[in-house]
Structure 1
Amino acid sequence: MKKHVLVAFCALIFLRPDFARGQTKAASSLSYYFNSPASRWTEAIPIGNGRLGGMVSGGIGQEKIETNDDTFWSGEPRDLQKPGTYRYLDEIRKLIREGKNAEAGQLINKHMLGPWNQSYMPLVDILLTMGDSTATDYRRELDLSRGIVTISYRQAGVNYKREIFSSYPDQTIVIRISADKKKSVNIIAELKSKIKNNVIAQKDQLIISGQAPKHVEPNYQGVHAPVYEEGHGMRFEGRLMIKETDGEIMTGGDKLELRNASAVTFIFVAATSYNGFDKDPFKEGKDERKLCEAYLSGLNGKNFRELYKRHVDDYTQLFGRVTIDLGINSDAALPVDQRIRNYRNGSDPALTALYFQFGRYLLISSSRPGSQPANLQGIWNDLLQPAWSANWTLNCNAQINYWPVEVANLSECHLPLMDLIREATVDGSKTAKNLYNARGWVAHHNIDIWRTTWPVGGNGLWAIYQVGGAWLCQHIWEHYLFTQDKAFLNEYYPVLEEATRFYLDNLQEDNNGNLVTNPAVSFENNYKKPNGEKGWACMGASQDMQIIRSLFQHTMEAVDILGKDQAFKAGVLHVYNRLAPMKISPVTGQLQEWNDDWYPENPHNDQVAQGWGLVAGDLIHVRKTPELARAFRKTVEARRPGYGANSGSWTGAFAASFWAGLEEADSVQMIIDRHFDLALFPNLTCNFTGFWQIDGNLGITAAIAAMLLQSQGGEISILPALPSKYAAGYVKGLKARGGFEVDIYWKKGVLLKTVIRSATGGNIPVRYRDKVKEIHVKPSGEVTLKLTDFS
């Protein structure tokens, strides 16, 4: 058996001629690399298969991979409902209508809030100790084109190499360690966890098991020890197994030792007892041990070469759909941490293209069919009290994660969010009844794996955000627009219908007879009235009304597309026509954030709520609604989002997308420059107040796509906001609404040609600058347009 493995290993080296020269080749446009191991978590390289993630440190003396399972959370299902809470609503609404907003806010905080969400937990640290920590020719690289991390170095005359990936088809993390000299690989393997655990060694594998806390306080509540309780909390198991080696394996206590090997393949599998959002993971949980055994059983007979091929074939089927070239200069050959340090005002155009593709890599790695959706940190977390519980924050952050998913040609990666939405309707219907005495369903500011929708604790400023669920519904509609999948739309129509039904019951008249949300907040912003009074409780915040207007529009369109109840549509239309409109301040000329002409308490707050209709919807458009677009541009000029205290991190995603929607190309680049200058960790992840927050990565990914292609407003717009720094380039495989796929080529800032394909076929206006060309694409056909077609 050992001879067979060694022959296979030698064949692998022969077939991979880059084995010894990986440390000398320059970075390609689809990779980034370091010349040293990670010294902290935000220098490690992320890997993931949607469910199982890892952060690869690439140490010389010790490899450390910190893993996560996307279902591993503190807590258990709990009933947060407070039946009859709606009895306080009449008084709260009356106070707001009378301008007694502060008193209304006090009642909201006293009666309508609940406890905090639970927290996403770290899983297992894989530790592979190899002795000497000195080496030469070190290189640690992420190849985005294959989804592979490679570490190579030279030590004592021997070339060492590691290849590491997280496989979706085989649900395992694979670690291949090899040397070009026999008997040079010596490793002590361990598994550790920050969670209470037990580790045993059996023959060729380590087994770690443990149990999550019953409760973990959010990090912003200060340092608190996790609360463990017997009979409560999710169980987990992880197994590290040696699968291929010509060395000697020894078992010692809670360690495995490998001696005198030429190569070894480690495989890591893990599982939790999570059995759904409504099942107690301890009493009704899945058998995590049997799940791990099943994963290992599925790996029988598969050597590294086959695991590698299955992973690459699966991953490239997604990643390879889009290619992009924005130009290159000498900085592209530098280590990524140095590229980030050197970056100044668009000096490294290839970094923008790399960042776009890195965003796509993160989505593929953290959101696959059957997994949980990407949370605030995707699937990666090393803390018992992660930032903001690493939950799904529904007043923008969870949604920003999915802004690029359709245009970046990763529609399948959108599906985990759809699962969350459907699951949220269960508790959401109870919240609608108990908090608002309304039909339908509603979700507020936060949600965790247990899918509770009651407002969280702390302050109504964020907690009473009653359009979280309605914003999620925008993603249902977007997925339909990009895929033209009527079966999907029919499946999720009840979610749209019941979300709409909630607002049919819940909207209230304002003092002008328009229908508005009451109580409401505006994106965690405080206002200042003309009389100097400050507060947050209000009615009819502009963002609320934009989201509800879009929800009503899409629900009515779905009724027609699917042949649903026209009487229901008529009722929606009646209420739709009474919704409070967007307003332009007669004082400032800006688009108002509140139903009344109030001012933001912090005039430079990055969270510019009233821009929702430009970046998440299509209610504000430079040609369809030019007056609103001009008013919002004045708002952006005054507020300067992306320039606040957080240096354009996830807030820069809004700013860059605002400028892209306004078709002001170099202003988009200005925000991207600031993001790269000030908001990146060395591993290219987004730094928000010292923590990785993945919506910064993914929101800027969406803004880069919007520079090149937009499809709001019933047309495809080619290069609508192309910054001058990308004078020549191309992008292939972006998606447009209507089910179209688009390639674009340009030179000297001018379009050369665009190719538009469609599986389903259809008619679509195509815009380039101020010219529009109507085209018809046959099913499974394509149309090529050149610059002369727009003359």
Structure 2
Amino acid sequence: MEHVLEMLYPSSWWHDLWREGLATGNGITGANLYGGAKREILQLGRHDLWYNGSQEEVPDVHEAFIRQRQKMDEGNFCEASWEIVNALKETGYHSSLESQLPVANLITEQTPVKGFRAFKRQLDMEHAVARQQWNDAHMTMHREVFVSRAEDMVVYRLCAENATESKELLEYRLELEAFRNEGEPANDAIQAVWRDAQTEAVCENEHTGYLYFNSNRAQKDARYTDFGAVARISIGDGCLECFENKIKIKAAAQVLITIGLYVNEEKQSAWQRLHDRLESRTRNFEELLADSSALHEALYHSAKLHLGDSENRVTWSRTNEELVTEAFAEKQSPELIEKLWHYGRYLFICGSSPTANPFPLYGLWGGGYELQWCHNMANENLQMIYWHSLCGNLIEYNQAIFKYMNDRIPAFKENARKLFGIDGIYMTAGTTPGVAAPTQVVPVIINP
């Protein structure tokens, strides 16, 4: 239990259940598991899906910089700080940062037999597996999910233990739907995503079915703006049928779901490509996990932190609730501090990659429509996220930042020329993958 976080209750954050979800990922693709015994949500995301931003051409206001310098020479520093900001606003300039957008939600609904008890959930940080389980009648229901580093796909298993006598009572309904955060008012952009959403369910035989999802995000100068997911559902026993773009499963003690995601790819070609890819990956859960875990463990264990003596470590098996209650009542235990360190490292490894966009402030698991500060903020926030990469033996992860910034050098050069009339670059503090122009038009951000 040294590398396991255990909780005895489901996610319960008011109208933002995703905030207490169990996060896993491979740096490219992320999955966040939350919900309860009757209705469980698997939120699916990718590093490169952003929406609802705009990048206008930066107006040439470099003469305001000359006035700013003059006022600074005169000692009018407060007035000087507003020169460039006011000049930009007078032109009507308005660029806005994009927001993260999860690709889709996979909803699992299960018909209760007698009602749940003994609920618990775990995050196995050593193997990057999220788990939930509970008892219903004489059966134990298991949910397990990880994102394969070897295959770049989400692998999700539903299992009923001790179900031999009651398999006929098992019933699941699976649906891929556009991302929704229940309880949060929807903006115009997310409503457009919902209007464009398309879902399909296809049963290829009584043991194999597919769920398809596609939608569209409005973005200028992009060849394709489609994004979506394909899920393959397979069972060894019981039966599977389609209804209302959902898949219903009966009397199956084990269900294996593999999911591929796509961004900026035409729907039909993406659906066919992922269908063929998932169809060719037919190994079982344990085999897929073994390949992924070997890659994850090498990263996770490339640095270690040990607090407390080795004799006491074998008893480190308390739940999150117990550890936090003790910290409020007395003091933080070495077990709590060490698990917090490991959890931060775990999220960094699962939420970023040397070949992906930099780690944003919510990782791959942001679950709101317009989350505050979900962008890449390079005034200090981005740097703080990556501080651990050097002492944590993950220096290769810094490549993501260098590539991201280098790709935006042309925009940064234009910023410097039009805002200040100088050669060189002006790196805006806040950026998103599609927006590198100034967006936070206030003195504390605009002035270098």
Do these two structures clear the TM 0.5 threshold for a shared fold by scoring above it?
Answer: yes
Match for residue 287 of structure 1? 266
1:68-113: CA deviation from partner (whole Å, max 9, x where unpaired): 222111147744322x321221111110121112221332221146
Tell me if structure 2 keeps the 8 A contact 1:200–1:206.
yes
Please give the secondary structure, in 1, of the residue aligned with 2:382: helix
> Separation in 2 of the partners of 1:302 and 1:426?
46
Match for residue 188 of structure 2? none
1:316 to 274, 281, 297: 297
Alignment of 1:448-487 (within 5 A): 448-452=432-436, 454-464=437-447, 466=448
1:209 to 205, 214, 235: 214
2:78 to 85, 102, 125: 102
Please give the secondary structure, in 2, of the residue aligned with 1:47: strand
Please give the secondary structure, in 1, of the residue aligned with 2:229: strand
1:233-256: CA deviation from partner (whole Å, max 9, x where unpaired): 832111222034322110012110
What amino acid is aligned across from residue 68 of structure 2 in structure 1? I
Runs of 5+ unmatched residues, structure 1: 1-27, 216-230, 274-285, 467-791
Shift in Å, 1:331 = 9.4
Shift in Å, 1:261 = 0.6
> Separation in 2 of the partners of 1:304 and 1:399?
37
Larger radius of gyration: 1
What amino acid is aligned across from residue 142 of structure 2 in structure 1? K
> Separation in 1 of the partners of 2:258 and 2:149?
13
Alignment of 1:574-585 (within 5 A): none
Match for residue 565 of structure 1? none
Tell me if structure 1 keeps the 8 A contact 2:198–2:213.
yes
What amino acid is aligned across from residue 326 of structure 2 in structure 1? N
2:22 to 45, 52, 63: 45
What amino acid is aligned across from residue 56 of structure 1 in structure 2? L
Match for residue 407 of structure 1? 391
Match for residue 428 of structure 1? 412
Alignment of 1:510-525 (within 5 A): none
Alignment of 1:374-393 (within 5 A): 374-388=359-373, 390-393=374-377
Runs of 5+ unmatched residues, structure 2: 181-192, 204-208
Please give the secondary structure, in 1, of the residue aligned with 2:82: helix
Match for residue 245 of structure 1? 236
> Separation in 1 of the partners of 2:393 and 2:271?
32
1:351 to 336, 361, 376: 336
Tell me if structure 2 keeps the 8 A contact 1:213–1:233.
no
Q: Cα–Cα, structure 1 residues 208 and 100, in superposed 2: closer, same or farther, change >3 Å? A: same
Tell me if structure 2 keeps the 8 A contact 1:269–1:292.
no
What amino acid is aligned across from residue 463 of structure 1 in structure 2? I
Shift in Å, 1:207 = 0.9
> Separation in 1 of the partners of 2:143 and 2:58?
51
1:74 aligns with 2:55: no
Match for residue 368 of structure 1? 353
Please give the secondary structure, in 2, of the residue aligned with 1:237: strand
User: Structure 1: which 4+ aligned runs deviate by more than 6 Å?
Assistant: none
2:69 to 69, 82, 93: 93
Q: Cα–Cα, structure 1 residues 291 and 418, in superposed 2: closer, same or farther, change >3 Å? A: farther
> Separation in 2 of the partners of 1:392 and 1:35?
34
Match for residue 106 of structure 2? 126
Alignment of 1:137-216 (within 5 A): 137-180=118-161, 181-182=163-164, 183=167, 185-193=170-178, 194=180, 195-196=193-194, 197-203=197-203, 204-214=209-219
Tell me if structure 2 keeps the 8 A contact 1:270–1:292.
no
The total of aligned residue pairs comes to: 409
Tell me if structure 2 keeps the 8 A contact 1:62–1:131.
no
1:191-220: CA deviation from partner (whole Å, max 9, x where unpaired): 2224321211112111111112459xxxxx
Q: Cα–Cα, structure 1 residues 295 and 440, in superposed 2: closer, same or farther, change >3 Å? A: farther
Q: Cα–Cα, structure 1 residues 342 and 213, in superposed 2: closer, same or farther, change >3 Å? A: farther
Q: Cα–Cα, structure 1 residues 316 and 259, in superposed 2: closer, same or farther, change >3 Å? A: same
Shift in Å, 1:158 = 1.1
Please give the secondary structure, in 1, of the residue aligned with 2:70: helix
Shift in Å, 1:447 = 0.5
Please give the secondary structure, in 2, of the residue aligned with 1:57: strand
Shift in Å, 1:141 = 0.4
Q: Cα–Cα, structure 1 residues 143 and 189, in superposed 2: closer, same or farther, change >3 Å? A: same
Shift in Å, 1:123 = 2.4
> Separation in 2 of the partners of 1:289 and 1:105?
52
- Which moved further from structure 2: 292-301 or 369-378? 292-301
Please give the secondary structure, in 2, of the residue aligned with 1:208: strand
Tell me if structure 2 keeps the 8 A contact 1:32–1:335.
yes
What amino acid is aligned across from residue 371 of structure 2 in structure 1? P
> Separation in 1 of the partners of 2:236 and 2:381?
45
> Separation in 2 of the partners of 1:43 and 1:433?
45
> Separation in 2 of the partners of 1:418 and 1:295?
31
1:336-365: CA deviation from partner (whole Å, max 9, x where unpaired): 134224314643111111111111111111
Supply the RMSD in Å over aligned alpha carbons.
2.5
1:591-649: CA deviation from partner (whole Å, max 9, x where unpaired): xxxxxxxxxxxxxxxxxxxxxxxxxxxxxxxxxxxxxxxxxxxxxxxxxxxxxxxxxxx
Larger % of strand: which?
2
> Separation in 1 of the partners of 2:170 and 2:341?
37
Tell me if structure 2 keeps the 8 A contact 1:175–1:265.
yes
Tell me if structure 2 keeps the 8 A contact 1:128–1:187.
yes
1:534-561: CA deviation from partner (whole Å, max 9, x where unpaired): xxxxxxxxxxxxxxxxxxxxxxxxxxxx
Tell me if structure 1 keeps the 8 A contact 2:53–2:96.
no
1:274-300: CA deviation from partner (whole Å, max 9, x where unpaired): xxxxxxxxxxxx335534543443341
1:270 to 224, 237, 261: 261
1:131-187: CA deviation from partner (whole Å, max 9, x where unpaired): 228323322101111111122222110122222111122111111111232326421
Q: Cα–Cα, structure 1 residues 432 and 292, in superposed 2: closer, same or farther, change >3 Å? A: farther
Tell me if structure 1 keeps the 8 A contact 2:412–2:426.
yes
2:276 to 294, 297, 319: 297
> Separation in 2 of the partners of 1:59 and 1:241?
23
> Separation in 2 of the partners of 1:307 and 1:245?
17
Match for residue 184 of structure 2? none
Please give the secondary structure, in 2, of the residue aligned with 1:32: strand
Alignment of 1:216-231 (within 5 A): none
Shift in Å, 1:375 = 0.5
Match for residue 307 of structure 2? 326
> Separation in 2 of the partners of 1:210 and 1:463?
36
Shift in Å, 1:62 = 1.8
Please give the secondary structure, in 1, of the residue aligned with 2:391: coil
Tell me if structure 2 keeps the 8 A contact 1:144–1:361.
yes
Tell me if structure 2 keeps the 8 A contact 1:394–1:446.
yes
Equivalent pairs: percent with the same residue? 19
Alignment of 1:584-599 (within 5 A): none
What amino acid is aligned across from residue 198 of structure 2 in structure 1? N
Q: Cα–Cα, structure 1 residues 326 and 111, in superposed 2: closer, same or farther, change >3 Å? A: same
Please give the secondary structure, in 2, of the residue aligned with 1:432: helix
Match for residue 258 of structure 1? 249
Q: Cα–Cα, structure 1 residues 175 and 256, in superposed 2: closer, same or farther, change >3 Å? A: same
Match for residue 183 of structure 2? none
Shift in Å, 1:318 = 0.9
> Separation in 1 of the partners of 2:41 and 2:48?
22
> Separation in 2 of the partners of 1:240 and 1:185?
21
Please give the secondary structure, in 1, of the residue aligned with 2:99: coil
